[in-house]
Amino acid sequence: MKRYLPLVAMAIFVALVITATTYLIGYAGKQNNSSLPTINVYTTLPVEQVAVLAQEYERVAKVRVTITPLTEKDLFSRLAAEAGERQADLILANRKTLKQARNNALLIPYQSEYTDIIPNRFQDTDGYWVGVWYDPIIFAVNQDYFNSIKKKPAKWSDLPADSKQRLGLTDFLAADAAANLLYTLVAANGEQPTLDLLKKIHPQVVQYAKFLATPARMASMAEVDLAIAVHSEAMRYVKDGFPVQIIYPEDGTAFLLTGAGLVRSAAHTVEAQQFIDWLTQEEALACMAEHKFYFMPTNPGTPLYREYAAKNIKLLDHHDMYSPQQQRKILDKWVQQVRLGIQ
């Protein structure tokens, strides 16, 4: 037995070395991860969208991105409460929220060679925020229905195409992107002509959906013939092989712009600036597309931007014409005249 003791001792020693090495590697990884530079992002976007960007940026830039999802109201309340010691470095939100943040002196300007090429329509004129992607409203037409009709819907005035056409759209009271379409059409065409159009299509609306994703799903499943939907959701079904044809209204359409802005007195300004630059680049949109988030880039230098530019999509820049009080009145008139049929 004694002659085996050196072998037993050696085996125990090797096992201890392996165990210790494994522990140290794991510990070192945790230490390395926790020692990464950090960016704190306050966002009103769905957390699943921002999470894929955070994971990818940590992988490529070795910078941790922590996400705090908030409603618009809670975002401003949180920033006001942190006035003495900011926790957020960056706001990632829609244009409306970013504009309000600037008006409340919560942002500082930032411009770089990466943001400088973004068209003016997609960023603040003084550099307080920059748009990183946008999502227009389109017609998502079921392919079988599209093939069966002679006159293809090309403009808002083409709706409904016939008396049997089934339509789907998101309730204007349910989502900002849907309400933005209403305000934009009113600004472009006038209040009463817009309400008259919506009255005309109302009898053929199968469902005023509660979520932006629903109309595109209904068109893909032939539950409606045509959906008034956000491009990103319709494109998801197109990419998945569903029979959906996307049409960009020739007379123009509304769009929801998402952007980023640096928070005043932030602790990690340099890292946040670099993250904004990355968000404008092709890699960020490619990362989102891999996870089935199909947005349009604002950067003219990306191949995807040029691809969509070739489609001659007409965007209507009427997002700023109405105050919250005026928007409320427009919504009320839509509810009364269209949904309830009260003149």
pLDDT in tens, 140-171: 999 999 999 999 999 999 999 888 999 999 99
With beta carbons less than 8 A apart as the criterion, state whether 315 and 119 touch. no
Q: What is the pLDDT of residues 36-95, one digit of tens each?
A: 899 999 999 999 999 999 999 999 999 999 999 999 999 999 998 987 788 999 999 999
Rounded CA-CA distance 266/40 in Å is 9
- What pLDDT is attached to residue 85? 81
Closest CA to 54 of 319, 271, 296, 337: 271
Tell me the fold of 135-254+316-339: D-Maltodextrin-Binding Protein; domain 2 (3.40.190)
- What pLDDT is attached to residue 16? 36
**CATH class of residue range 36-134+256-309:** alpha beta
- What pLDDT is attached to residue 28? 33
As annotated, the residues of the chain forming the CATH 3.40.190.10 domain(s) are 36-134+256-309, 135-254+316-339
pTM: 0.87
- pLDDT by 10s per residue, the chain, length 343: 444 444 434 444 434 333 333 333 333 333 345 678 999 999 999 999 999 999 999 999 999 999 999 999 999 999 989 877 889 999 999 999 999 999 999 999 999 999 999 999 999 999 999 999 999 999 999 999 999 999 999 999 999 988 899 999 999 999 888 999 999 999 999 999 999 999 999 999 999 999 999 999 999 999 999 999 999 999 999 999 999 999 999 999 999 999 999 999 999 999 999 999 999 999 999 999 999 999 999 999 999 999 999 999 999 987 677 888 999 999 999 999 999 888 7
- Beta-bridge mates of residue 260: 92, 130
- What pLDDT is attached to residue 33? 55
- Let me know how long the chain is: 343
b/e map of 304-331 (b: 16 or more CB within 10 Å)?
A: bbeebeeeebebbebbeebeeeebeebe
**Cα angle for residues 293, 231, 53 (degrees, 5° grid):** 20
